[in-house]
Amino acid sequence: QVQLVQSGPEVKKPGASVKVSCKASGYTFSTYGTNWVRQAPGQGLEWMGWISAHNGNTKYPQKLQGRVTVTTDTSTSTAYMELRSLTSDDTAVYYCVREDPRVGPNLGDYWGQGTLVTVSS
């Protein structure tokens, strides 16, 4: 069965970077894209970025351009999201989501369990 297993919780100081991993299983990783979505405490969902499984193309929201990078390692079926220059506003649960490129633009069908990133001095 399809599973996305994310790395554990992180505590970071302001100005630091964090890299969250998302290990996929149960499907051919290289044929699906990955979106990243975050949710601040008590808040709604926010799209953070996307990477194509096909060619590694990426897209990011303008708000996070220059601070976020999403990558994949097809040899380990793992996607990564790195966020730099952290502030308290980046405290959130971060989710990876499997995008199905066969059905037109879609955020995805399977979600990781989420990774809590806390930014605090």
Residue span binding another protein (CB under 8 A) among the ranges 19-27, 38-46, 70-78, 79-87: 38-46
How many residues line the site for another protein (CB under 8 A)?
Answer: 26
Nearer to another protein, 53 or 112 (CB): 112
For 82, the token pair is 């790195």
Nearer to another protein, 41 or 121 (CB): 41
Residues 6+ apart with CB under 8 A from 11: 118, 119, 120
Give yes or no for residue 107 binding another protein (CB under 8 A): yes
Q: Is 63 helix (H, G, I), strand (E, B) or coil?
A: helix
Residues 6+ apart with CB under 8 A from 40: 46, 89, 91, 92
Token look-up 């405290």 returns: 91
Give yes or no for residue 41 binding another protein (CB under 8 A): no
Q: What residues make contact with another protein under the rule CB under 8 A?
A: 35, 37, 44-47, 50, 59-62, 65, 95, 97, 103-114
